[in-house]
Structure 1
Amino acid sequence: MKWAQIRPEHGTTTAVCLLDERVFAFNRTLDDMVAEGELNVIHSLGDVENAGGKELHADWNELPFTRLLTRPGKILCVGLNFTDHAEEVGAPLPEYPTIFTKYSNALIGPGEDIQLPAESNKIDWEVELCAVIGASTRRVSPEDARASILGYTILNDISVRDWQGRTSEWFQGKNWDRSTPFGPAIVTADSLDPAEGLSMQCSVDGVLRQNGTTANMIFSAEEVISYISTFMTLEPGDLVALGTPAGVGLSLRPRQWLSDGQTVTCTIEGIGTLANTCRAES
């Protein structure tokens, strides 16, 4: 099942789902439904109807998608979590997940412009699989962490590389305003398994830059969530971005960076495509 959020031009923001090629809309936002745990118990047509879903006779791919979650409580990211990416940047494989944080000021939705800051011209792309937490989670095993995952979406971890490299902490290169696209949909965990090796691509103006697979993740989603839950409680709607495969601009020779007007397109098998155009900050 797929879930998303739409905002018609003259309407209100509304949760929608795709079930058996049929589109249903709800009279609530996806934020509210995730926070209240409603998505955890909607699996069938009967569940959709009991939750108030009304069928929209529309093409899912033509819907006016907007940001999935407006202000997730926590956005946690894993660095160097793909073997091929660690190799391309010359880093040893980590013994533990390398965790850094983002804040909601950085997030944008599908189709929104990536804001390129005036302070840098070394701005990079990173297609990432992102787990969406569906239940309060603390001190769980990797096996039990699977039940905590509501589903998966796409996150483009745009990185301001010169600022990221100023210190040993990456935070300042990862949190620029309106720099991190995510979406367009959440695919529920019961219909998507990263362990099977989902293909991941990122292209810039149609030129393929990253072409990887989740089979190359060092730490699985369950292992990452178990690790994080050891020291903090994860709550419904929290995001956990799981790292990027090889092909980032930092590792190309000569290095390649994003510029005004370029379009970055990220695709993950089973989820869909996330496309955003870069605009220089005025």
Structure 2
Amino acid sequence: MRIVTFSLNGSIQHGVRNGDRIRLHPSATSAVELAMNAAQHPAGEEIGIDQVELLAPVPRPGKVICIGLNYGAHAAEGGNAVPDYPAVFLRGPTSLVGPAAAIILPACSDKLDFEAELAVVIGKTATNVRENPLDYVAGYACFNDATIRDYQRKTTQWTVGKNFDQTGGFSADLVTPDELPAGASGLRIQSRLNGQIMQDSNTGDLIFDVATLITTLSEAMTLEPGDVIATGTPSGVGYARTPPVFMREGDVIEIEIDQIGTLSNRIARRA
């Protein structure tokens, strides 16, 4: 299934998308709940996708756990060794934007970079998981871990450069695991800036795959329904290019993952 969250007549609702139509499920209180327990939420009327404003599948996650350096070629392009333990940092919910919103280039910087990523949305509480970690996944989406690079480099921690308001793009469709290969592995992942391919890789190249990430992270912290894991970006990011390529006002950045979909955001400058 493709679960969507949307605004309709001023209220947030959830449904199942089939092409340009959405089947409403009025009793579902979240996309995660619908993904995990669709049978418990009877379908209602069907409406056109043009009648709603699509939102991120989880508009305000409890936590967004991001993984750095999770593709070998990306680690190498930044001069980093391949890690033997995931590089972990967090994003706050105010840093996110949905599929219909602009990614914001702040007034204080001109170094806004793109990072195509597979997002994993947690479906049920996971603590110290050792068996069947993929059973805790509600679904998968596209993510853009857009980064203010000069602020990322101001400290040894990456937090500030990853948490500027309205920089993390989050696609509309939450694609349930039954629609995809196990762990969403083996899927082509791309970023395109104004139509030009910048990153082109495969989720099968993750150093730490989805199952490993759930096991590793849940050893340290409880993963709750609606939490998001952004699994890392492949090589080809803007800062590592010669000359560097950063996003500008008016640019369009697309993140596409096979069988999941395409996230498209325009870049706007904050006054």
TM-score range, shorter chain: over 0.9
Deviation at residue 85 of structure 1 after TM alignment: 0.9
Aligned counterparts of 2:173 and 2:105: Cα–Cα separation in 1: 24
Aligned counterparts of 1:101 and 1:130: Cα–Cα separation in 2: 13
- TM-score, structure 2 length as denominator? 0.93
Aligned counterparts of 1:28 and 1:264: Cα–Cα separation in 2: 35
The corresponding residue for 2:177 is 189
Aligned counterparts of 1:230 and 1:157: Cα–Cα separation in 2: 24
1:263–1:277 CA contact under 8 A, matched in 2: yes
The corresponding residue for 1:27 is 26
Deviation at residue 69 of structure 1 after TM alignment: 1.6
Q: Please state whether the residue corresponding to 1:230 is helix, strand or coil.
A: helix
The corresponding residue for 1:39 is 35
The corresponding residue for 2:161 is 173
Relative to 1, partners in 2 of residues 1:264 and 1:22: Cα closer, same or farther, differing over 3 Å? closer
Deviation at residue 88 of structure 1 after TM alignment: 1.5
Deviation string, structure 1 residues 33-69 (Cα, Å, up to 9, x no partner): 53xx443132xxxx2xx512124153x6886312222
Deviation at residue 158 of structure 1 after TM alignment: 0.4
Q: Please state whether the residue corresponding to 1:215 is helix, strand or coil.
A: helix
Aligned counterparts of 1:248 and 1:207: Cα–Cα separation in 2: 13
The corresponding residue for 1:5 is 5
Aligned counterparts of 2:109 and 2:19: Cα–Cα separation in 1: 45
1:221 to 210, 227, 242: 210
Map 1:145-156; keep pairs closer than 5 Å.
145-156=133-144
- TM-score, structure 1 length as denominator? 0.90
Q: Which moves more between the two structures, 127-136 or 84-93?
A: 84-93
Relative to 1, partners in 2 of residues 1:62 and 1:83: Cα closer, same or farther, differing over 3 Å? farther
The corresponding residue for 1:51 is 41
Q: Please state whether the residue corresponding to 2:89 is helix, strand or coil.
A: strand
1:249 to 208, 220, 238: 238
Q: Which moves more between the two structures, 228-237 or 85-94?
A: 85-94
Aligned counterparts of 1:70 and 1:23: Cα–Cα separation in 2: 18
- For the pair 1:239 / 2:235, whether they are aligned, the reply is no
Q: How many pairs align?
A: 270
Relative to 1, partners in 2 of residues 1:106 and 1:20: Cα closer, same or farther, differing over 3 Å? closer
Percent pairwise identity: 33
Q: CA RMSD in A?
A: 2.0
Matched residue type, 1:3: I
Relative to 1, partners in 2 of residues 1:30 and 1:202: Cα closer, same or farther, differing over 3 Å? farther
Relative to 1, partners in 2 of residues 1:82 and 1:13: Cα closer, same or farther, differing over 3 Å? same
Aligned counterparts of 1:104 and 1:79: Cα–Cα separation in 2: 18
2:122–2:223 CA contact under 8 A, matched in 1: yes
1:30–1:68 CA contact under 8 A, matched in 2: no
Deviation at residue 196 of structure 1 after TM alignment: 4.0
Q: Please state whether the residue corresponding to 2:54 is helix, strand or coil.
A: coil
- For the pair 1:15 / 2:14, whether they are aligned, the reply is yes
The corresponding residue for 2:268 is 279
**Structure 1: runs of 5+ lacking an equivalent:** none
Relative to 1, partners in 2 of residues 1:30 and 1:164: Cα closer, same or farther, differing over 3 Å? farther
Deviation at residue 11 of structure 1 after TM alignment: 4.5
